[in-house]
Structure 1
């Protein structure tokens, strides 16, 4: 393993338990009961999915988040330990429950989520700063889930990100969906955060809602030169990377989506991994698209792919792609 891969990556954000419920063909009316096929618990949240993807790719993730002193918090710590992920940056908030996401998966792999914030109410910049000795050793710092962290919102994260970038770390930001409805203040605060972000990784709908536009091209134009690079995830349509002097777009892989939960996070970490290797941008995008396609097409419990498995999957689906 190269020295660059040996450097850890910090993931600062929302770590939670997901209760995955599938397959949901319609939601019940009030006072109605329906039967679904399955339900399972998973280590989740953007921080959780990023950490699992990173570990399988050979990176060393350091997670900073908050959990409760409850069975779900214990579950998360056990799952992190099984995956070989350091949990010393995960603080326990005794008086609040662990954040729980109820994820409803539809018959085409689409999903809807209801979230109980719990211990994420106490995830603050101060929590991250208490673990700065470990965070400062990381090549990249991935900020995620900030719309689910009331005391680590984009407005509050900006000063923290500025300090990280000033000392030479790569700041990566994935906004995820805003459950507050993308109000003007949130949009303004998020755009201000992008001034101190190196790599911004929204999906197409998030980008358009953030910028009040209808296409990724218009969304990127509205953001302008704030981050060094914008990578837009377009689902089955692939992905695009934009910097001040070039645009690189790739198509997605033709797979049947079973469950799209966490696919964007796997894409993100796979792109960061490929970027570390010094690969050309097109290779990075193709690798990340293949990793995400591998995840969305799986049934049952998740198996996160390593580089060899991503390449093997891509070779079966689209020979010569990666």
Structure 2
């Protein structure tokens, strides 16, 4: 990518940060009063904003983040991991006497996962943090709103107003809501519809797209979400790949082969791969391929999970012709 000197960082990610306690190889969920066993657990710095930030930075994209953690052991782990990865954290606020959010991720042997989360003080944390760190937002070309339902104190109408202002400044707004643990009540869907009017790239998975639209097929979901205002809709299909709808054009790209270790964070890594290729000026099908390849590598690894640009490119090139990779910093 050509370096754009008008931006201090290419991406500013606003969203949720938490600790993931991941327990793998769980054959089935327990019923109340019983217990099942998994193995090979680990504790990682997580949340959609963190996973996406780690993945983007590994691809060579300068990133800043805005969000909340508690001033506790977990919060310090998240802060230190972000710093070690080279991510700008001046917008990460550590709240005294608050517990950092935590998620227990339960992973089946085939990599599918389920989550139980405690959002902790983030239930009451509000979107005023964005204004306090507006300078970081101004310095970015891409502004992502991620994991919004893990921040229930955020006012969606206020976020929409900020996204409107960002688009008017020529910025690319990216939205990935995550799953709504409250069951997608009508007021939440109305709020997301307002956000979509100011969204450049909307990146739900199929379950989320279905919940928002009431449709089943990805093409119907994407068409409906385009009607609601998003300029480009990307629907992540897991083992079936990814689907895109922009203007009157649609694209479907199958997943690349992967030996699944676990899929926690896979959608966030896909987002990072897609955005990297999109910023590189590639056509949408190539962006889908690059996102699929980044995700395939990530879910196949047990350590050093976030691939760099050359690794993703080389893996994707085994299966598809791609434009030349520009390895300059973003």
| TM-score, normalisation: structure 1 | 0.94
How many Å apart are 1:122 and its aligned residue? 4.1
Q: Tell whether 2:308 aligns with 1:280.
A: no
Partner Cα separation in structure 2 for residue 166 and residue 148 of structure 1: 27
CA distance in 2, matches of 1:240, 1:268: 12
How far did 1:173 drift? Answer: 0.2
Which of 257, 261, 264 aligns to 1:261? It is 264
For 2:317 and 2:286, the matched residues in 1 are separated by 14
Cα distance in 2 for residues equivalent to 1:242 and 1:34: 41
Instruction: Select 2:185's aligned residue among 183, 186, 204.
Output: 183
**Are the counterparts in 2 of residues 43 and 79 from structure 1 also a CA contact under 8 Å?**
yes
Q: Deviations over 1:4-35 (max 9, x none)?
A: 39643100000111111112112334343443
1:223 and 1:303 map into 2 onto residues whose CA distance is 32
Distance (whole Å) between structure 2 residues aligned to residue 302 and residue 183 of structure 1: 38
* Matched ranges for 1:41-80 at <5 A: 41-80=43-82
Which stretch shifts more, 159-168 or 102-111?
A: 159-168
Matched, 1:90 2:92: yes
Q: What are the residue-to-residue correspondences of 1:153-192 with 2, within 5 Å?
A: 153-192=155-194
Question: Shift of the alpha carbon at 1:135?
Answer: 1.1
* Runs ≥4 residues deviating over 6 A: none
Distance 1:306 1:115 in 2: 30
Question: Residue 181 and residue 167 in structure 1: after superposition, are their counterparts in 2 closer, same or farther (change >3 A)?
Answer: same
In structure 1, C-alpha distance between the alignment counterparts of 2:282 and 2:2, rounded to whole Å: 14
Equivalent-residue separation in structure 2 for 1:157 and 1:194 (angstroms): 11
Q: Which has the higher contact order (CA 8 A, sep 6+)?
A: 2
Aligned residue pair count: 320
Deviation at 1:70, TM superposition (A): 0.7
- The answer as to 2:215 corresponding to 1:213 is yes
TM-score normalised by length of structure 2: 0.92
Matches within 5 A, 1:1-322: 2-4=2-4, 7-225=9-227, 226-298=229-301, 300-316=302-318, 318=319, 320=321
**Unpaired runs of 5+ in structure 1?**
none
- Residue 153 of structure 1: how far off its partner (Å): 4.5
Partner of 2:20: helix, strand, or coil?
Answer: strand
- 1: CA distance, partners of 2:60 / 2:296: 19
